[in-house]
Structure 1
Amino acid sequence: MVSTSIRRAAAKKLRANATPHERTLWRALKDLPLEGSHFRRQAPIGPYIVDFFCPGKRLIIELDGGHHNEDDVAKRDLERQRWLEGEGYHVIRFWNSEVMGDLTAVLERIYVELYGSRDAKSSPLKHRRT
């Protein structure tokens, strides 16, 4: 297993070199008026670094570019997702084109994942350290 300091350094480097799609979603997540729905970006979890993470719901959001269609990358994504879900996290994935093409629909899906429905009122989420 890679040491914690190395994973943190890698996460910091990824945050500094975010893709345009990641920057767009990050700005939108920060602007959401969701009480207690704190998100982290490029967060280390176990042996992985996830794109976005809401500790209060153990929700992971992954953004995928076209290279995620390739067999070997898709296989690694599936293994990674299975490991994260086995640790009690919930993973949702969006294509980069979804973020750029219909950000409102992406944010609605995230809201539903956090609170159960589009009509649910936001409520404070308790954060757990990971």
Structure 2
Amino acid sequence: MARQTTRATVLKARTLRKERSLPEVLLWRELRQSDLKFRQQHPIGRFVVDFYCPSAKTCFEIDGIAHDMGDRPERDGQRTTWLEAQGYKVVRIAARNVLASPAEVADALIRLCKGDS
């Protein structure tokens, strides 16, 4: 059974929208120009995903170097497992790829959401 999104998670999402990383800012500039609807720092259950496309039920996570440290890989794995069990597709993108070419990454995400190859 899916967990309800709590008020605390919604408030956390609002805060995270104000504290976005540079890769998130650059990617958002590109995604918001798409004809698809995307949401940034979107709460789902007890989690907040970096970007979400409702029409494709797909979550996008931008992973910087911090995602390789400590218990973060394990927590990211648990988060992905839970989201997928709820019927969401989860795509992880290296922050360095977004920094190198935000337009190319956005284009690939948009094509994925539209079901294009």
> What displacement does 1:47 show?
1.1
* TM-score, scaled to structure 1: 0.81
- Written as runs of structure 1 = structure 2, the 5 A alignment for 1:78-89 is 78-89=77-88
Q: Residues 50 and 61 of structure 2 are in contact (CA less than 8 Å); yes or no, is this contact kept in structure 1? A: yes
- The total of aligned residue pairs comes to 115
**Matches of 2:93 and 2:15, distance apart in 1:** 22
- Written as runs of structure 1 = structure 2, the 5 A alignment for 1:1-130 is 4-32=6-34, 34=35, 37-118=36-117
> What displacement does 1:3 show?
6.7
Instruction: Give the secondary-structure state (helix, strand or coil) at the position aligned to 1:76.
Output: helix
**Matches of 1:117 and 1:55, distance apart in 2:** 16
**Matches of 1:19 and 1:11, distance apart in 2:** 14
The answer for unaligned runs of 5 or more in structure 2 is none
Change (3 A) 1:2 1:10: farther
Cα RMSD over matched residues?
A: 1.7
The answer for unaligned runs of 5 or more in structure 1 is 119-130
The answer to which of 80-89 and 106-115 deviates more is: 106-115
Percent of counterpart pairs with the same letter? Answer: 33
Q: Cα deviations across residues 6-46 of structure 1 (Å, max 9, x unaligned)?
A: 111111000011111111111110012x2xx2111111101
* TM-score, scaled to structure 2: 0.89
Instruction: Give the secondary-structure state (helix, strand or coil) at the position aligned to 2:37.
Output: coil
